[in-house]
Structure 1
Amino acid sequence: MTSWVEVINYVRLRYEVLEESDAWLRFRLDTDGARTQQVSVHHLPDLGGAAWVEISSPVGRAADVDLRRFLELAGESQVGGAAVVDGLALLKHMVPLEDLSVREEFERPLALLVARADAMEHALTSGDDF
């Protein structure tokens, strides 16, 4: 069984942690070229009787992006769904914490989500704010 502490330690060893609390971490990954992408990982305890990990990455400020195009691009993604939270357009993906293989069930969706969010940020804003 995988614990939230194991997920936190995995992230701390591999990435630049920008901010954290008991229930979430925000960190940065390098992407193509000189671009970077921020990611948040949240611990969602007892959702439907089991703990989950939510991975999210911002694409842009919702007020500054074409939300219809954002949804179209999100629909092409292998992982993640589109959401607007606190004014940010996000790609989000959830994985169950119980029996989580950090390398396969966390790292792989993380890499796919980050690459897609960065490509969408570039397409929708031409920037690298996140």
Structure 2
Amino acid sequence: MATWDDLAAYIRQSYHVVREEPDEIRIRLSYDDDRAQVVVIAREILDRKEEWVQIATPFARVDQVDLREVLTEIGNTIVVGGLVLMGEHLVLRHSLPLINLDINEFVDPLELVTGSAELLEEQFTGRDDY
């Protein structure tokens, strides 16, 4: 898999797509405990030449949580991804270059980022909003 179109085709075939735009696909992953997580998968262009894919999923509003506690938890437990503030939302995200991307190099980080965000959401908000 080496292009956004290839990855988008795989995502459409493998996941529940809830929204799609030319450079962005939103999917919903469901878990056995009736919880779910929405994930934004977006095409990014680095330095106007290299295609990357960004996996991002919100898990809380910044005003809902103790940011220091969240950052400490992420520092102690998260292997893939980093915390960013997007508007009023805390978002766990990870980026990968598309060139020579094997499917496991996408699926594994997707599952890790999404699963981690779901656990953070449950731990810090007790809700299932995202």
Hey, what's the Cα distance between the residues in 2 that align with 1:39 and 1:63? 21
Q: Deviations over 1:106-128 (max 9, x none)?
A: 00010111111000000010000
The RMSD of aligned alpha carbons is 1.4
Match of 2:24 in 1: 24
| Secondary structure of residue in 2 paired with 1:2 | coil
Contact 1:31 1:118 in 2 (8 A): no
Hey, what's the Cα distance between the residues in 2 that align with 1:49 and 1:92? 21
Hey, what's the Cα distance between the residues in 2 that align with 1:43 and 1:5? 10
Q: CA deviation at 1:32?
A: 4.0
State the AA in 1 paired with 2:122. H
Alignment of 1:1-130 (within 5 A): 2-47=2-47, 49-75=49-75, 76-102=77-103, 104-130=104-130
Contact 2:58 2:117 in 1 (8 A): yes
Hey, what's the Cα distance between the residues in 1 that align with 2:47 and 2:89? 23
The 1:81/1:129 distance shift into structure 2, 3 A limit, reads: same
Using structure 2 for the length normalisation, give the TM-score: 0.92
State the AA in 2 paired with 1:60. A
Q: CA deviation at 1:60?
A: 1.0
Query: Which is worse superposed, 47-56 or 58-67?
Result: 47-56
Structure 2 gap segments, 5+ residues each: none
Contact 2:3 2:51 in 1 (8 A): no
Contact 1:74 1:91 in 2 (8 A): no
Hey, what's the Cα distance between the residues in 2 that align with 1:47 and 1:33? 42
Hey, what's the Cα distance between the residues in 2 that align with 1:68 and 1:20? 34
Percent identity between the two aligned chains: 33
Contact 1:91 1:113 in 2 (8 A): yes
Q: CA deviation at 1:33?
A: 1.0
Aligned pair count reads 129
